[in-house]
Amino acid sequence: MQKKLLAVAVAGALTAPGLALAQMSGTEVYGTVNMAFGNFKYSDGAAARTAPNTNPVMFGASVSKWDVANGASNYGVRSRESLGGGMSAWVQIEENAPLERSSNQAIKPASRNSAVGIEGNFGNVFVGQWTTPWADLDALWGIGTVGFWGPVTSLIGRRETTGTAVNYNCINAEGTTPGGTTPGAGTAVCDALQGGGGVGHAFWRRASNAAFYQSPVFSGFQVKLAFQTNEGKSTGNVAGTNGNAQLWSGSVQWAGMGGRARVGGAIDKHKDFTTIGQTDSGYSVKGGYNFGVVDVGAAYENLTYKCGLQPFPAPAGSLPALCAGTGDIKVKQYGFAAAIPVGPGSIRASYSKATGMTGVVTVGQTDAKEYNIGYEHRFSKRTNVGIGYAKIDNNQNAQFTWTGAPPVQNGFANTPLFGSDVSTFFVSMTHRF
């Protein structure tokens, strides 16, 4: 929908160059508002199950609370100009639009998919920040979610990550007790689940400072490539060790049989993200088939994190902590989804599982599973309302959750306590403009 006056106002508020973009042909303002109201519950953490519950905050007693949540609402400006000869130039600037003051989403221009590029018979070439080919494959199978409480970026992909940030964390500050069964304190461990302190940067991500290529579609096939540059290359950045972090992501996908069938595979290489001098890798296969009476999807991911003797940045005067051994940590995720048409809406459901880590780990019971079900009613092409239930069942040393979930038992942190299950009954509304 063309909204040129509004586009001029918004683009002018962004920057002066944005105003120039608004004067180009084919400029529009667009966005998605995605909100939910419901009841959230965090079950007891692992410590509460194994120790006297004398301190509800410390030991993680269960808590139930009401919440208005924002599901990656966004708005942006995009423009396209014909260059002749079948080529066109385009630009997109998109940012988060958190519709709740307590949201942990940053309000920054171009914080979401934002780039400038040229498209023609050769394909689409662009630079900026964008979801990787790996992340784009989730559109092929993730049809089982009502609202935004689903498996993508929670179990599948392991939490959303945006930017160039690497993760040199080969330590878990909370550690484990001897035997690796209960979170404790003081033991270094490679933990692929702890968002702020472990091996296991997300493979679902937006790569910034990156170049992208998307081929034309030939007989239903399309190739996508991304390279995140090594702009952070340095000497002595981690305990005197050189770093040269960079990322490659590529995928091939196919759609056919009248649009009913779709399948794709991706391979990622993340150099120096976990261990200097090592490259983490992963591959995934995702797809689905629409039978008419039901649309089904499935996903499988296999990730390998290189966990050598990687120093962890330590306070001045102290020795760096080391990873608990040398070798690889391997994790797998898989999921299934379904959408059943019912009148103008659909029943949607999915099940996913993150298997426990194997390899160089000193902690067990790191697996988790998630399921959700609900009904989504389509009032129009732009407005949906849904109702549903979703739950993440964390094993004793797992901490999976959704982006946008309310604070946990302590009232301010968003990462669940070890072993705390997360569930919600909700009503959601999505409006696109």
Q: In this predicted model, what pLDDT tens digit does every residue of 172-197 receive, in sequence order?
A: 333 333 333 333 343 334 443 343 33
- Cα 78 to Cα 22, 92, 123, 359, 418: the distances in Å are 8, 4, 19, 46, 42
Q: Supply the pLDDT for residue 103.
A: 56
Q: Supply the pLDDT for residue 165.
A: 64
Structure tokens at 236: 């002595």
Counts for the chain of helices (H) and strands (E), in that order? 5, 21
Average pLDDT (11-27) is 46
| Confidence check: pLDDT of 326 > 80 | no
Q: What is the mean pLDDT of the chain?
A: 80
CA 150 to chain CA mean position, Å: 11
CA 20/CA 49 separation, integer angstroms: 60
Q: Which residues contact 429 (CB under 8 A, 6 or more apart)?
A: 33, 34, 35, 36, 383, 384, 385, 386
β-pair type (261-271, 28-42): unpaired
| Confidence check: pLDDT of 74 > 90 | yes
Architecture of domain 105-403+425-432: Beta Barrel (2.40)
CA 352/CA 367 separation, integer angstroms: 11
Q: pLDDT tens for residues 252-279?
A: 999 999 989 999 999 999 988 777 778 8
Confidence of residue 158 (pLDDT cuts 50, 70, 90): confident
Q: What type of residue is 216?
A: P
Q: pLDDT tens for residues 369-406?
A: 999 999 999 999 999 999 999 999 998 878 889 988 99
CA 17/CA 324 separation, integer angstroms: 50
Q: What type of residue is 217?
A: V
Q: Supply the pLDDT for residue 162.
A: 76
The dihedral formed by the CA atoms of 398, 404, 408 and 414, expressed in degrees to the nearest 10 = 70
Secondary structure element (H or E) that encloses residue 50, with its range: helix 46-50
